[in-house]
């Protein structure tokens, strides 16, 4: 019987922190922390999708299944699509390799929500997560993506738009935006279709590939969770992660 497949894209040449997947000040490479968190999700298969031999070697060293992918890929989703192509999976989850503190419960919420959204009259093309915007983060930070959704209630809402700008603009009253969490769920055929689509005008403008699907008229279902785990984009982010790991040891 098919099971959900979590694919962890792990590119070596990160623009802001090159080689971050192999940083190991905690005693483990960063990618291993993400893989171990994903392995805590019951009833799934997990694979690391990379473009670099050193990441492949490290991942195999801690026991991960690995797919080598084209280094020319311009996005993690296309890398995930190559790794997942031809595999027997009920759905595919894209979990970025720089999310070492990703909560297994959030992945479970995404899996359950996507399976339910696939049974709706208008099935979801993609499913993703959001949470209330944390009080200690600056809503004006363009690296923190905001999402506006419908007010359908139930297990999921539909995304209306994603942006790096404050959205909606609080012109008349205080408003707490929703923060997008970059976990994605796809049916296998939807993943391949999405990877084959050309980048859209809105996607190029905001540098947010999920806008490609919205601009094409596709449905993105959004499940709300309590909070997001901090990702690792900069040396400062990684130092904070190492500090938290040492404090929890």
The stretch 176-199 carries a mean pLDDT of 95
Structural domains for the chain? 1-98 (3.90.550.10), 103-228 (3.90.550.10)
What percent of the chain is modeled with pLDDT above 70? 99
Q: What is the pLDDT of residue 190?
A: 97
Whether the per-residue pLDDT at 154 is higher than 70: the answer is no
Q: What angle do CA 116, 117, 120 make, to 5 degrees?
A: 100
Residue 3: pLDDT band with limits 50, 70, 90: very high
HSE-up of 143 (CA within 13 Å, CB side)? 9
The stretch 187-207 carries a mean pLDDT of 96
Residue with tokens 């994603």: 162
Whether the per-residue pLDDT at 75 is higher than 70: the answer is yes
Between helices 53-61 and 30-39, what is the axis angle to 10°?
A: 50
| Helix (H), strand (E) at residue 147 | strand 146-149
Residue 170: pLDDT band with limits 50, 70, 90: confident
19: left (phi over 0), alpha (psi -120 to 50) or beta: left
Given CA atoms 11, 197, 185, 159 in this order, what sign does their dihedral have? positive
Q: What is the pLDDT of residue 136?
A: 86
Number of neighbouring beta carbons within 10 Å of residue 71: 12
Tens digit of pLDDT for each residue in 41-50?
999 999 999 9
Given CA atoms 121, 125, 128, 133 in this order, what sign does their dihedral have? negative
Beta bridge partners of 3: 89
pTM of the model: 0.94
Whether the per-residue pLDDT at 239 is higher than 90: the answer is yes
């Amino acid at each position: 019987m098919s099971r959900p497949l979590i694919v962890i894209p792990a590119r070596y040449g990160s623009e802001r922190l090159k080689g971050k997947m192999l940083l190991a000040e905690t005693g483990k490479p960063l990618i291993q922390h993400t893989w171990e968190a994903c392995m805590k999700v019951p009833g799934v298969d997990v694979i690391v999708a990379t473009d670099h031999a050193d990441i492949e070697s490290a991942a195999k060293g801690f026991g991960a299944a690995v797919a080598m992918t084209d280094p020319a890929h311009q996005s993690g989703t296309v890398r995930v699509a190559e790794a997942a192509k031809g595999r027997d999976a009920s759905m595919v989850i894209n979990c970025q390799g720089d999310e070492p503190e990703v909560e297994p419960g959030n992945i479970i919420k995404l899996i359950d929500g996507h399976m339910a959204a696939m049974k709706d009259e208008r099935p979801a093309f993609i499913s993703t997560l959001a949470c209330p915007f944390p009080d200690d983060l600056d809503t004006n930070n363009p690296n923190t993506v905001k999402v506006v959704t419908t007010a359908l209630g139930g297990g999921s809402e539909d995304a209306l738009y994603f942006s790096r700008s404050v959205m909606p603009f609080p012109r008349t009253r205080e408003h707490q935006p929703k923060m997008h969490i970059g976990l994605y769920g796809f049916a296998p055929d939807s993943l391949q279709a999405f990877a084959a689509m050309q980048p859209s005008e809105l996607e190029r403008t905001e540098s947010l590939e999920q806008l490609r699907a919205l601009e094409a008229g596709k449905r993105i279902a959004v499940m709300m969770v309590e909070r997001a785990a901090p990702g690792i984009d900069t040396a400062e982010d990684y130092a904070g992660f190492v500090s938290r790991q040492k404090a929890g040891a």
